[in-house]
Amino acid sequence: MSETSHYLCIGCPLGCRLEVDTQGDEILEVRGNACKRGDTFARQEHVDPRRFVTTTVAIEGAPWPRLPVATAGSVPKHVMREVCEALHGLRLEAPVELGQVVLPDALGTGIDVVATRSMERR
Amino acid sequence: MPELQPRHLQRRYDVVVVGGGPAGLAAALGAREQGAEGVLIVDRESEPGGILQQCIHHGFGLHHFKEELTGPAYAERYLGQVLEHDVDILTDAYVLDVDPSRRVGLLSSRHGRTEVDAGAVVLAMGARERTRQAIRIPGTRPAGIMTAGFAQKLVNMAGYLPGRRVAILGSGDIGLIMARRLVLEGAEVVGVFELMPHANGLTRNVVQCLHDFGIPLHLSTTVVHIHGDERIEKVTVAPVDESFTPRMDQAWDVDCDTLLVSIGLIPDNELARTLGVRLDPVTTGPVVTSSMETSRDGVFACGNTVHIHDLVDWVSQESQLAGGAAGGYATGRHRRADNVRLLPGSNVRSCIPHTITTEREHTIFLRVTKSLAPCTLRLGEVYERPLRYVVPGEMVTLKVRPRFLQGFHGGNLRVDVVAREEAAA
């Protein structure tokens, strides 16, 4: 008995309606995708949905009180809020360079959180 | 990083660029690359980068840098290139006026009221957000009502959370992205209310920003009343019928301490208007040639000040071209006038630039009025290209090569986007 799951593709602005047919743990077919990326996305989304997280961290001695940061890779979707909570407690000190790691191996995901801009010392 | 504020302004610049956002940065770079010597960027903020600095999410640079970057990272990379090209950047400063001889009146915290002469001027002021006033929602005028972009600056840069319980009117991309941001920063987003029967932003943003966080999206629904004295306390929302008339019998109240409005952008053209530049009534931005020159000699324009883009990459491309043409103009290499006028036809809302020449290659940016899939893009009788789909939220870009126009000798070229069946018939 096969089952069908539905997803919306986030690979590009087109937003294809994806259908994934499965039997047990096995993916039988992906339908509705207009390109290869949709197929890859659907297979990933079905077993392990992942997202990039972008947020900010408090910083002292900089022109702004918040520094924008992002996960250097995608993390499991269900840990997005926890990643942000882990970052809420951080207090950075300027200067910070673009790409500098502000939280290594966030929540044991193996993914670093990095600064997405430089901030010089004021 | 080199010091941004020039200690001494030159008396004359080949090119003065108004605005240091993505358009202004790219225009300055383009001007230097085309031989302009002195280039000055004037920006009202304390640092260049414009709106990119507050757009901390991904989605920038896939075309330009072949890599998906956040807004600040895109700005930083671009600014690095600009500074390598020895451009003066004056921040905390305004351009007050530009006289017919292109003497530019400036007001800056460092230099006070001053003037510089410009060989050419590039208008790159970007856009402003439509506000509550633009749609006249009835009710009181309490605190806690703001545009989504302003909330974005508060949250992402200034470090303020605008509220704890937030309702969002309009499903533009900025509103969707702010819904996610507010949840990640600890606020509750009680719902997104959209007048149209479809989301205004991209599907990918509906998924990543609303579905991922269980935020309800109410389509064909709008805010009909705002309540609260000092601070907003609740909004009344109601579904609308096909003619967008609210059905008050089905209205309900939503408690909130903040209302964000995300109902679109309009080109910022106060300065263009005072300069008497001809404006397009549809885009509300300047009418531009294929060199992005406005109706005033030596005054160029690019980016969201001309028409609202959905990708910064296209802003950079268009603006580099505008800056290059301005640099050419300032150094005595004015391009030949265009000989073909583009006319928006079936399902085409706007077409930038407004004119082209049959001699060079051009990138044309189109916006359609309604979704079609599949469809055909036609340039008069001379060229057609199949398109998988078009949607109003996504700009269509078309490279027009001189060979397409070889057999064309008219003055006007109509641009149509028609359903595939129609095209075949």
Q: What ranges do the domains of chain B cover?
A: 12-128+266-330, 131-263, 340-424
CATH superfamily of A54-115: CPE0013-like (3.10.530.10)
Spatial neighbors of B414 by CB under 8 A, at least 6 apart, are B343, B345, B378, B379, B380
Q: Is the pLDDT of residue B389 over 90?
A: no
Place of tokens 């036809």: B345
CA distance A8 to chain B (A): 7
Tokens representing B46 are 């304390």
- Judged by a CB distance cut-off of 8 A, whether residue A116 touches chain B is yes
Do the bridges between strand B221-227 and strand B103-108 make them parallel or antiparallel, or are there none, so unpaired? unpaired
How far, in Å, CA of B191 to CA of B175, rounded? 11
* Alpha-carbon B414 to chain mean position: 25
Say if the Cβ atoms of A116 and B70 lie within 8 Å. yes
What does the pLDDT average to over B370-399? 90
* Alpha-carbon B281 to chain mean position: 16
DSSP A38-54: HHHHHHHHHH--EE--E
CA atoms B259, B265, B268, B269: torsion sign: negative
Q: Is the pLDDT of residue B425 over 50?
A: no
Residues in B lying within 8 Å of A, measured between beta carbons: 1, 46-47, 53, 56-58, 69-73, 75-76, 155-159, 181, 183-185, 202-204, 206-208, 211-212, 388-389, 391, 393-394
How far, in Å, CA of B287 to CA of B341, rounded? 11
Say if the Cβ atoms of B56 and A14 lie within 8 Å. no
Q: What's the confidence (pLDDT) of residue B175?
A: 96
A12 interaction partners in chain B (CB closer than 8 Å):
204
The residue that leads in pLDDT, B261 or A34, is B261
Say if the Cβ atoms of B159 and A52 lie within 8 Å. no
Calculate what percentage of chain B has a pLDDT beyond 70: 98
**Mean pLDDT, rounded, of chain B:** 93
Report yes or no: B39 and B126 within 8 Å, Cβ to Cβ.
no
Residue-wise pLDDT for A56-84, tens only, equals 999 999 999 999 999 999 999 999 999 99
- Across the interface, of B1, B72, B388, the residue whose CB is closest to A120 is B1
How far, in Å, CA of A50 to CA of A41, rounded? 10
* Nearest Cα residue in chain B from A83: B184
Strand partners, B168: B192, B260
In terms of Cα–Cα distance, which of B343, B346, B361, B294 is closest to B122? B294
Q: What's the confidence (pLDDT) of residue B224?
A: 96
Q: What ranges do the domains of chain A cover?
A: 3-47, 54-115
CA distance A116 to chain B (A): 5
* Nearest Cα residue in chain A from B76: A117
Which helix (H) or strand (E) element contains residue B123? Answer: strand B112-123
Say if the Cβ atoms of A34 and B388 lie within 8 Å. yes
**ipTM score for this prediction:** 0.92
Residues 28-57 of chain A with CB under 8 A from chain B are 34, 51-56
How far, in Å, CA of B151 to CA of B242, rounded? 31
Question: Band of the pLDDT at B3, cuts 50, 70, 90?
Answer: low
Q: What's the confidence (pLDDT) of residue B132?
A: 83
What does the pLDDT average to over B31-60? 96
Same fold, B131-263 and B340-424: no
A86 interaction partners in chain B (CB closer than 8 Å):
none
- Domain at B340-424, CATH class: mainly beta
Q: Among B66-75, B172-181, B413-422, where is mean pLDDT lowest? A: B413-422
Q: What's the confidence (pLDDT) of residue B332?
A: 92
**3-class SS at B214?**
coil
- Across the interface, of B203, B391, B394, the residue whose CB is closest to A8 is B203
Full-prediction pTM beyond 0.90? yes
Tokens representing B409 are 């000798």
Across A34-66, b (16+ Cβ under 10 Å) vs e yields beeebbebbeebeeeebbbbbbbbebeebebeb
For B12-128+266-330, CATH gives 3.50.50.60
Burial status of residue A6 (CB atoms within 10 A of its CB: 0-12, 13-18, 19 or more): exposed
Calculate what percentage of chain B has a pLDDT beyond 90: 83
What does the pLDDT average to over A5-33? 90
Q: Is the pLDDT of residue B424 over 70?
A: no
Q: What's the confidence (pLDDT) of residue A86?
A: 95
DSSP A108-120: GSS--EEESS-B-
How far, in Å, CA of B341 to CA of A30, rounded? 46
Q: Is the pLDDT of residue A2 over 90?
A: no
How far, in Å, CA of B312 to CA of B27, rounded? 13
Report yes or no: A66 and B158 within 8 Å, Cβ to Cβ.
yes
Say if the Cβ atoms of B203 and A14 lie within 8 Å. yes
Q: Is the pLDDT of residue A14 over 80?
A: no
Spatial neighbors of B235 by CB under 8 A, at least 6 apart, are B139, B167, B169, B223, B225, B226, B227, B253, B254, B256, B259
Q: Is the pLDDT of residue B404 over 90?
A: no
Say if the Cβ atoms of B207 and A15 lie within 8 Å. yes
- Across the interface, of A10, A53, A66, the residue whose CB is closest to B204 is A10
Residue B154 has what DSSP assignment? I
The alpha carbons of chain A give a radius of gyration, in whole angstroms, of 19
Q: How many CB pairs under 8 A join A and B?
A: 87
Spatial neighbors of B8 by CB under 8 A, at least 6 apart, are none
B59: left (phi over 0), alpha (psi -120 to 50) or beta: left
Question: Band of the pLDDT at B1, cuts 50, 70, 90?
Answer: very low
Q: What angle do CA B215, A80, B153 make, to 5 degrees?
A: 70
Mutation for testing the A interface, residue in B154, B173, B184 having most A CBs under 10 Å: B184
Q: Is the pLDDT of residue B191 over 60?
A: yes
**3-class SS at B223?**
strand
B207 interaction partners in chain A (CB closer than 8 Å):
8, 10, 15
Question: Band of the pLDDT at B422, cuts 50, 70, 90?
Answer: low
The yes/no answer on whether domain B131-263 falls in CATH 3.30.360.10 is: no
Q: Is the pLDDT of residue B2 over 50?
A: no
